Amino acid sequence: MQPNLIYLDYNATTPCDPAVVDSMLPWFYQNPGNAASKSHPFGWKAKEAVDQARNQLASLLQVDDAEIVFTSGATESDNLALKGVFEMYGRKGKHIITVKTEHKAVLDPADHIEKRGGTVTYLNVNSQGLIDLNELENAIRPDTVLVSVMWANNETGVIQPVKEIGAICDKHGVLFFSDATQAVGKIPVHPRESGVHLLACSAHKMYGPKGVGALYVRKRQPRVKVTAQLDGGGHENDMRSGTLNVPGIVGFGKAAELSATLMDAEFQKLESLRNHLETQLCEKLEEVWVNGREAPRLAHTSNITFRAADAEALINTFNQQIAVSTGSACSSASLEPSHVLLAMGVAEDKARSTLRFSLGRFTTSTEIEQVIEAVLKGVSKLRELSPLWMLFKEGVDLD
């Protein structure tokens, strides 16, 4: 990480923990085996390493080792879950339910399913980003095969009522998939006890390497099946063909092991730092809102709107010294305002004046103080030049 640069974009990706890097290094050169090679010790050792990592991740999720399917990342896992269920259970029905605030890695496959003859219901959220459980239950039809609701939102950190959703799905005999990419390793995520049948996660959101993820697929009560989206060898129990990324998987396992140990202490530390950031900005600036503040949230995520302070312009005032974002990294090329905030009822002009601060394992209190100072200066500077702010100060109703 660059010196003097403050990194508060952990929801886009996290730096690898040094212990994760150390665990991976031997698998690049000392142990070069393919985990599918069964005729020599190099292959055996690689398979043992993959098995150990599978156990480490399964232990974090409190599921069976055989229920973990390794992929290239959460996007692939999302696609495998949605498309795989749609194709496997097409005879039962072609209707799925998801939420307007899902990540693009869910919304785009849902769009793909609609183009292939499926029907998708997109649930609304309230001003805090939470779904209405009654709306969910009323949306379930005889031909519904899957409900897809993310565990915690990548832009706001808002945590959905997963257990309640699982109970509704169980009541109606519908499969429940959750993209838990932002939640795994940050809070307890236990799909089996929460009624989740499929779950996606990714190593690089929890201090592991990029390019490796996993899909949990329940094997009992009920046994869930998905149609493979990659063919070519029948790896990962015929659900995901391709040579396994042994170094990445080893790093994923180590990251999961570390998260299990550090999770509680990190939650408390990051919640304290985040609350201080929000309190200072809300107390020292007028017309500032924390989106999703009244909902259960991840401890490290803060989504803040600053009236009359364009987000991109505000970032430019930081002189490239602070890494934050205006929303999801996967949507950063779009000029459109955040679909998550718009779904929450945030006006377009306010959505364009919103920053996401995401803290992490290596964030310090000194860095938070520096960020507070920079944001205060930046917002004040932009407002001095803003006709919109002048109108507001003159008493014009802008809402």
124, 69, 68: which is closest to 97 by C-alpha? 124
Q: Which of 169, 201, 282, 330 is catalytic?
A: 330
Longest dimension (CA), the chain: 79
Distance CA(16)–CA(210), nearest Å, equals: 9
Distance CA 258, CA 57 (A): 10
Pairwise CA distance, residues 203 & 345, whole Å: 32
Q: Are strands 95-99 and 144-148 parallel, antiparallel or unpaired?
A: parallel
CB contact at 8 A, 36 and 235? yes
Rounded to whole angstroms, the Cα distance separating 235 from 42 reads 18
CA distances from residue 182 to 165, 187, 204, 258, 360 in whole angstroms, order as listed:
18, 9, 10, 16, 12
CA pair distance 140, 211, nearest whole angstrom: 35
Strand partners of residue 118:
none
Q: In sequence order, which residues have a C-beta less than 8 Å from that of residue 344 and are 6 or more positions away?
A: 101, 125, 126, 127, 128, 129, 156, 291, 292
Query: What are the tokens at 285?
Result: 């600036």
Residue 284, both tokens: 């020292």
Other Cβ atoms within 10 Å of 383 Cβ, number: 20
Q: Catalytic site residue 330? A: yes
Catalytic annotation, residues? 330
